[in-house]
Amino acid sequence: MGRMVTFLVATGLFMIGSLKAAKAQEYDGLLSPYVEVSSMPGPRWYMEAHAHSDYIYCFVGQCSTAESCLEYAVWRYDPSSDVWDVVDTSTFGGWATYSSLIGDDVYFAGGGIQAGWFKDSVFRYNIVTQQIDTLANLPEPLTTGRAFNDNGMFHLLGGHNGYHPYDANYIYDPESDSWAVGISLPDGLERYGLAKIDSLVYLLGGRGLGGYPASNINLVYNTITKTFDFLSALPVAVRDMGCAVIDKKIYLFGGRTSNPVFVDIVQVYDPATDTWQMGPSLPFQWAFMAAVQVDGAVYLMGGITEDLGLPIDKVYKFSPYISGVVMISPNTMYAFQAYSIDTIMAVIYFGDFTDGHTVDDIDPASLNINSTITPTSWNTLPSYPGFVGKVMEITFSIRDFILGYGPLWDTTIQVYTVSGEFNGKCGFSIDGEVTMFGHTSGDVNADGAVNIGDLTYLVDFLFNGGAEPPIPETADLDHSGAVNVADVTELVRVLF
């Protein structure tokens, strides 16, 4: 009895991106990853900000260091056009509120109106309709904590209750308009950075019950098991920092080590390895800024600087990955090469980084291709055609490279990415293009030709228990979605 294999034929759309050159600023002798963009309509600190539909929305905040000076307007920023708009002037919320985006709604809880006066009020603001709803009050007045979207629940952690940093864990259910109490934090904590990656919520730095001016705590909350665990501590204890996630790494921007010492450091945490490294320093000593990630870049907005001691309206775009020039050899590949008996190697050359780094600054152990392929060897060349400075040469197997794109058909242009890090500092990512000649219908044994060897392979597979075709789709000559005797008939017709 013969064999039949049925499979689904899927088609993929590959988007080929182009690198855009932004006008960067000279900073410490290198081109800075921080680019100043259009300022906000006014100065703010203790501001809440969220990304929604490719826009950034900024809410409430203080317009001076006087705690009674509140700016209630809702501002919207369009990163693509670098334009700000005032979209609403409703009066709700206060400074240092808890907030989180859930769908089209931003939830606000607690916050302050003036020194020593903390609120328990809760509001919901719909970004689309601009409708404001008053919701069930917090169990108690709180401020200077953080919140997140927990599968549609508005989840608050820590804060200050008017007397000391607090260990609060409150969960609001929008369906029932009610609050529940979760397991308390191990200690009181406020003014920390919060980052959510999948089911894990990271609480970093801040100020705790011990009275210390800043903490180096790294506490993770598992939203599934409802438990807390301590991870590798921050290299530098900070509070009042900006916090954002890019590619599942957590970036802590600036902050204060003690009152009133501001810092310009950037600390980067990789949860996958539980390790820290230092990123490129901020343009100035900065704290209390909002940090929002859009399309792989972080927008740092408002806050207070060490030199002015007042809220600012400045906005900087931080792009963590530096680009450069890249070439690949061979620059034309064939899908059947992935199945060669002898390993075929490819080479990538890169260098001429946009920020002034050279290949001598690279940590070779960090190098990868398309995020999954580790080079088999690397070498530094003094020069190479098409480059200005030194060049890094990396060698890798063509097999994993080609297979990483899935089944390929016809002739396509595919994007590849080389990335790594500069000796424990900021990372780089360079995109290039390679021409791919895909599989041919009837090339059952994936050797790049359609001939009698494919007929023998197919018959052996279907009737003699032979090996399955490397790419089953190539054996489906009649495009029926199944490999069977009808395909043998079609292959005979093609060959003879």
* pLDDT tens digits, 405-464: 987 778 899 999 999 888 755 678 899 999 998 877 778 887 778 889 888 998 889 899
pLDDT at 26: 33
Question: Dihedral of CA 135/77/144/162: which sign?
Answer: negative
pLDDT at 3: 44
| Whole-prediction pTM | 0.66
Per-domain residue ranges for the chain? Answer: 33-319, 325-437, 440-495
pLDDT at 375: 97
Alpha-carbon distance of 492 to 451, in angstroms, equals 10
The CATH number of the structural domain formed by 325-437 is: 2.60.40
* pLDDT tens digits, 123-137: 999 999 999 999 999
pLDDT at 29: 34
Q: How many CB atoms lie within 10 A of CB 251?
A: 23
Q: Does the domain made of 33-319 have the CATH classification 3.40.50.300? A: no
Q: Which residues of the chain have pLDDT under 70?
A: 1-32, 64-71, 91-95, 113-117, 210-212, 259, 355, 424-426
pLDDT at 426: 66
Q: Name the helix (H) or strand (E) containing 220.
A: strand 218-222
Q: Report cis status (omega within 30 of 0) of the bond before 260.
A: yes
443: which residues sit within 8 A by CB, 6+ positions away?
Answer: 336, 449, 450, 454, 474
The Cα angle at residue 180 between residues 176 and 181, in degrees rounded to 5: 175
The amino acid at 410: D
160: which residues sit within 8 A by CB, 6+ positions away?
Answer: 118, 142, 143, 144, 145, 166, 190
pLDDT at 212: 64
Alpha-carbon distance of 199 to 223, in angstroms, equals 6
pLDDT at 71: 66
pLDDT at 211: 60
Query: CB of 111 within 8 A of CB of 62?
Result: no
The amino acid at 423: N
Q: Which two tokens stand for residue 290?
A: 């909002």
Residue in 282, 281, 185, 202 with CA at minimum distance from that of residue 248: 202
pLDDT at 63: 74
Q: Which fold has domain 440-495?
A: Type 1 dockerin domain (1.10.1330)
pLDDT at 465: 87
Task: Classify 46 in phi/psi space as left (phi over 0), alpha (psi -120 to 50) or beta.
Answer: left
